[in-house]
Structure 1
Amino acid sequence: MNADREPIAIVGAGAVFPGAGSAAELWRNVLAGFDAISEVPPGRWDPALYYDPDAYARAPESDRFYCRRGGFVDELATFDPARFGILPAAVRGMEPDQLLALRTAGDAIADAGGDERLPDRSRIGVVIGRGGYITPGVARYDQRVRTSHQVTGILAELMPDLGRERLAEIRRAFCERLGPDGADAPIGLVPSLAASRIAGTFDLHGPAYTLDAACASSLLAVEHAVRALRGGQADAMLAGAVHHAHHATLWSVFSQLRALSPSETIRPFDRAADGTLLAEGTGMILLKRLSDAERAGDRIHAVILGAGSSSDGRAASIMSPLVDGQVLAVERAWRDAGLDPAAPGAVGLVEAHGPAPRRATRRSWRRCAACSARAARRSGSAPSSR
C-alpha cells in the first residue's frame, strides 16, 4: 500500500462538551438529539450588566450583548490534579483549557487501553488546536498587572485626597479578589504549552505543538497528525482541540460582528437561520496507522482515509469566504483518500460546519451542491437533490 494514503485508525477518544463529560456521552447525546444549549452562567459574565435583547436593533456597542445563550461545560469541567502529578495549589492559577486538554488526552489514552498499550513514547506526538481568544487566566493576569494600576490611577486623578496608602490598599483589595498570585501561575497561561503539557505529562517525545485555524483548528490538527503518521514521524498521535474562552470580550466581538443569533437559537441549514451561538468544549483522539492498530489488536472506533485543507485566497472580505476555496478542501480530501465521490455508496453521511448566519448557511449548501455537481460531471451522472 502507498504509505502516502495509508488509512489511519482512531483507537481512543476523550471529550468534554456541553452536556457530555466523555466521548461516549457526546455520541449518546448526538443520537438522542439532546439540546445542550443554556443561558450563560453568571460566573462567566453578568447578564444583568451586559445583556440587552434590544441591542441588536441599535448600532453595535462593545458592552451590550443581545444574546446570552450558548454551550457551557461548568458542571463537567472537573480535573483531578493527583492523576497527573500536579500540585492542587497550582491548579487555580492555570488556564482551564490546558487542564481539560490534559484530562481528555488522558481519557483518550485510557479509552485505547491505557498507558501500557502505547507504542514507543519517543514516537508519539501531540497536535492541539487552540484559538487565540483571551482566556480566564490571561484576563485575570491582565487585570492584576495592568487594570489594577489603571483603576488606582483614575481614582488618584478624581479623588486626590485619597493618598498613596489608601490607593495602595484599594489596589491590594482589587488584586485579592482575582485569586492567588503564585510564582508558578505564569507558566499555566502560555497558550502554546497546551500540547507541551500533555507531552511532558505522558513523557512523549514526538512532535508536540499547538495551532490556530479558527473553526477548523481541530480538523487541521487531525490532518497534521495523519501526515505525521503517514510520513513516518510518529507511530501514534494525540490530536484534537480545546476551546474554553467565554470571556466577555469574546462575546463582545461576536455581538459587534452581528454573528450571534438575535433569537438565541441556532438553526444550521434552515431558512430561518439568523446567527450562531458560542459554545465550548475539548475533544481528543489517539491515532495510529491502521496496519499497526490491527497488528496490536487495538479496538478501532473509525478509520480516516483522507484529509484535505485549503484557503480561499483573495475574496471580497475576510468575513466572506469563497465557496470555491471550501470545495477545493473537500476535493483534496477525496483525492487523498483515493475515492470517487460519485461512486455508488461512496457518501454515507456529510457532516458540515454549519455556523448558521444566513450567508454562511447558503455557502455551506452551495459547497455541498458544488462538490456533488463536479463529481456527477466526472461520472457522467445527474446530481441528486436529496
Structure 2
Amino acid sequence: MKRVVITGMGTVNPLGKTVDEFWKNSVAGKSGAGMITRFDATHFKTRFACEIDGFDPEKYLTHAEIKRSDLFTQYALYAAAQALEDSGLELQKLDPFDVGVIWGTGQGGMGTFEEEVKNYVQTDFIPKFNPFFVPKLIANMASGMISIKFGLQGINYTTVSACATSNTALMDAFNYIRLGKAKVFISGGSEAPITEASVAGFNAMKAMSTNNEHPAEASRPFDSARDGFVMGEGAGTLILEEYEHAKQRGARIYAELVGASMTADAYHMTATHPEGLGAMKAMQLAMAEAQLNPDQIDYLNAHATSTSVGDLSEIAAIRAVFGENSSLSVSATKSMTGHLLGAAGAVEAILSIKSITEKLIPPTINLHQLDPAIPGQLDIVRNQAIEKNVKVAMSNTFGFGGHNGIVIFKEV
C-alpha cells in the first residue's frame, strides 16, 4: 500500500474565505452565526444560520461558470482552485489521467431546485425551466466541473452519505491512491443548504436550534442548554497525493492520512445509535488501519452537532474507545462554523490538520454548563484554544441513515 499525504488545502466557510482566515477565527473562538439574509425568515422557527458573508465567486470562477452552476458547485470550484494553488502542483506536467476528483455533497443544488419549482408555480405551471436546471441541480456536478475547469481526466465521482459525506470522499481518494490507481486527488465537500425548504425541513424535524434571540450562542455542543444544530454553508478541499510523488517534486507536506473507515448504525433514519456502537467500531477500525493505539490520538474533532441525543451517543462511543482517563483532547468546532452537512468533514479535516502543524487545538465555544451526563474528566477544550503537541488527530462525522465516517491524520 502506498502512503498518502496532504499537500494542499482550500476553503470558503462562515469563518473565512481562506484557510489562514478560517484558522485564525477558529482559534479565536469566533461564531459565524447571524440572522438569515438569503430569504425572509420572519415566519420560520429558526431565523438564523452561519452564512458566508461577502462571497465573491469571480475571484476564481469565470462568468460562464457562475451562470451555469449552483452555489454548492461555486463553493467547490472556489475551494478547489485555492487548494491547487496552495499545493504548488503544476498540472500541465502531470498525466491528466493520474489526477482525479472525488467530491461530496449531501443535498446538491437545493437552491436551484427551489428557484425553478417556485418559478414553475408562479407562472401558472407553464414548463419554462432553465436549460441548466438539471446540470446545476445534480449532486455530481461539482466533481464534474472541477475536472472540466482543470482538465483532470482521472477517477471522478461524488459521494453522498449525508453529514459523513466529506469523510467518505476522503476515504475513497485515500484508498485509490494507496492502490496505485492515481497519483493525486482533489477531494472534499461543499454544501449550500441555507434555503427555505432546507431550513423549514430541518425545523419540521425539530433538529435545529430556535434560539433566535442569541444566534451567536445557539450552537453549543455538549452544553446542558443545547437545543439543536445551527446550519452552515461552504466548502473544504484537500489535495491528497501519493507520498513518493509529493516528495519527488519537493512539495510541502501538511500531514499524512493514515487511517479511514466507515460503518453503519443500522438503527434509525435520523437518530444515531444511543450507545454509539457504529461510531465506536468506526473509530476502532480507523485506528487499526493506522496501526495506532487509543493513547496515541492527541486530538479528536468531534462531530458534535449540538443535538440532545447525538452529542451523548458520540460521547458514549468516545468513552468506550478511549476510556475515562485518556489524555485525548476533544473539541466541537461546529460551535463556531455551524453544521455544514456534506461539507462538514472537509472543513473539520482542515482544522484537524492545522492542529498538527500549529500545535493548537481550537475550542468548543458556548460551553458554559457541561451536560451532567458527560463525564467531567473527559478533556473537552472549552471556550478557548489550547496549546498541545498534536501529532495525531482524528475527525468524526456521522450522517442521517446511520453513516459513520472517520479519518485520522498524522504528523510526517
TM range (shorter): 0.7 to 0.9
Contact 1:334 1:341 in 2 (8 A): yes
Per-residue CA distance 1:68-101 (angstroms, 9 max, x = gap): 121101412x1128x55x4x25633531111221
The DSSP-based 3-state class of the residue aligned with 2:260 is coil
Q: Alignment partner for residue 142 of structure 1, among 102, 117, 125?
A: 117
- Equivalent position of 2:49 in the other structure: 70
2:86 to 108, 111, 127: 111
Q: TM-score with structure 2 length normalisation?
A: 0.73
Give the direction of change, closer, same or farther, for the CA distance of 1:243–1:21 in structure 2 (3 Å limit): same
**Counterpart amino acid of 1:318?**
M
**Deviations, residues 19-77 of structure 1 (Å, cap 9, x unaligned):** 30011211111111111111111xx22023x2xxxxxxxxxxxxxx222121101412x
AA in 2 matched with 1:142: V
Partner of 1:261: 209
Aligned to 1:195: 143
- The aligned runs of 1:198-217 (5 Å cut-off) are 198-217=146-165
| Structure 1 equivalent of residue 338 of structure 2 | none
What residue number does 1:364 align with? 314
Residue of structure 1 equivalent to 2:70 = 95
Q: Deviation at 1:368?
A: 0.7
| Aligned residue type for 1:29 | N
**AA at the equivalent of 1:287:** L
User: Which stretch of structure 1 is more off in the superposition, 250-259 or 131-140?
Assistant: 131-140
User: Retained in 1: the 8 A contact 2:70–2:109?
Assistant: no
Q: TM-score, normalising length from structure 1?
A: 0.77
CA 1:112–1:374: 2 relative to 1, 3 Å: same
Shift of 1:142: 1.8
C-alpha separation in 2, matches of 1:369 and 1:18? 31
For residue 100 of structure 2, what is the aligned residue in structure 1? 125
Alignment-mate amino acid for residue 39 of structure 1 = M
Matching of residues 283-362 of structure 1 within 5 Å: 283-313=236-266, 315=267, 317-322=268-273, 323-342=276-295, 346-362=296-312
Is 1:274 the counterpart of 2:268? The answer is no
What is the match of residue 41 of structure 2?
47
Structure 2 CA distance, aligned partners of 1:118 and 1:245?
37
**Percent of aligned positions that are identical:** 24
* Residue 145 (structure 1) shift: 3.4
Segments of structure 2 that go 5 or more residues without pairing to the other structure are 327-376, 380-412
Q: Which residue of 2 aligns with 1:35?
A: 31
Q: Which has the larger radius of gyration?
A: 1
Which structure's residues are more often strand, by fraction?
Answer: 2
Matches of 1:341 and 1:233, distance apart in 2: 31
Instruction: State how far apart, in whole Å, the 2-side matches of 1:199 and 1:133 are.
Output: 17
The CA deviation at 1:132 is 2.5
Structure 1 segment 154-173 matched on structure 2, within 5 A: none
333 and 38 in structure 1: CA distance in 2 versus 1, 3 angstrom threshold: same
Q: CA RMSD in A?
A: 2.4
Aligned mates of 2:57, 2:314 — CA distance in 1: 37
Give 3-state SS (helix, strand or coil) of 2:297's partner.
coil
How many residues are paired up? 322
Name the aligned partner's letter for residue 80 of structure 2. A
**Aligned pair in 2 of structure 1 residues 292, 369: CA closer, same or farther (>3 Å)?**
same
Look up the match of 2:21.
25
Contact 1:134-1:249 within 8 A present in 2 as well: no
The unaligned stretches of length 5 or more in structure 1 are 51-64, 151-170, 176-180, 377-383
CA contact (8 A) 1:9 1:289 kept: yes
